[in-house]
Amino acid sequence: MHLVVTLLGTKFTTILSMKRLLVDEAYRASIVSQVEDLHVKAFWNGTFPEIVRESYEQVVAPIVQMVEDFTAHDMIYHTLGQPFNAFDFREIVDEQKILLMKIPGRDLGEANASVLGGMLVSRIFQAAMSRIDVSIVGRKDFYLYIDEFDQFATTSFAEILSESRKYGLNLTLATQTLGALPESVRYSLFTNVVNVFAFATSTEDSSLLEPEFQPNVKQEDLSSQAPEEFYVKTSVYGISQPIFSARLSPKTSEVKADGAKAALAHSREKYCVPRAKAGEIIKQWGAVG
């Protein structure tokens, strides 16, 4: 988390700066000198040197290897290796823009997709937290939807769950397995989430969900539902409502692809550069960055 936050808060750094920040002491000092967050600065100046001395092989080396594997992927290298962002996450949050992010594990590799997804979630959370300079009344709600969020739910996600509401960041999370979540994240999830929609679950997950739906819905009720059936726990204006069951409506229309194609073409024209140009930008940045 400190690694990502540090780079996000420093100009002209990229994903390629990660390894250098971890292994190059002089470079790290130059970057940390630009950090304004006192907690993050204290980590790099105090805690991290102790980790390097006492647990480099156990703690730092695996992260360095992960970064090397991550940035070795051609798509990630050319997309995240550039020293600037074509769009502003704070602007997206403040103006309630629509941002669609596809993170295909099949193309990127499951490990890379997990890292990338976690970084993007952290980036949106940081953008929401930066709105501390705006009055609570003035913070427009921003809605973040994450499918298969268990793939990105590191232990730092527990903080996002507990802190997001005060910054106007509203989360809708979908997962097929609660058991895969870190215990701290699962605890924070049940502590902070207000509305729960539970489709047919495994025996393990139904045992985790049963306390949320007591006293009328049992573990076997949750695990024996048909695919289109689900139970709902919700509240209205902070008042818990009776738990009820529901059923998905049959699909009545086909989604037209023309709009999606037009949006993709517009996005590429406005925010993207050709791969060859991206490679040249990264090469020039590497010579001076």
Spatial separation of the C-alpha atoms in residues 160 and 289, rounded to whole Å: 31
- Residue 220 CB partners (closer than 8 Å, separation 6+): 206
For 249-275, what is the mean pLDDT? 85
In terms of DSSP bridges, do strands 169-174 and 142-147 run parallel, antiparallel, or are they unpaired?
parallel
Q: Residue type for 183, please?
A: E
34-80 pLDDT, tens digit each:
988 888 899 999 999 999 999 999 999 999 998 999 999 999 999 88
Per domain, the residue ranges of the chain are 1-81, 87-177, 261-288
Q: Give the residues across from 232 on adjacent strands.
A: 197, 244
Percent of the chain with pLDDT over 70: 99
Query: Would you state the structure tokens that stand for residue 46, as one six-digit string?
Result: 């105090």
For 197-205, what is the mean pLDDT? 94
> What pLDDT is attached to residue 86?
79
Query: Would you state the structure tokens that stand for residue 203, as one six-digit string?
Result: 């025996």
122-136 pLDDT, tens digit each:
889 889 988 998 998
Compute CA distances 257 → 98, 145, 250, 264, 272, whole Å.
18, 21, 20, 11, 21
* pLDDT > 90? residue 28: yes
pLDDT band of residue 251 (cuts 50, 70, 90) is confident
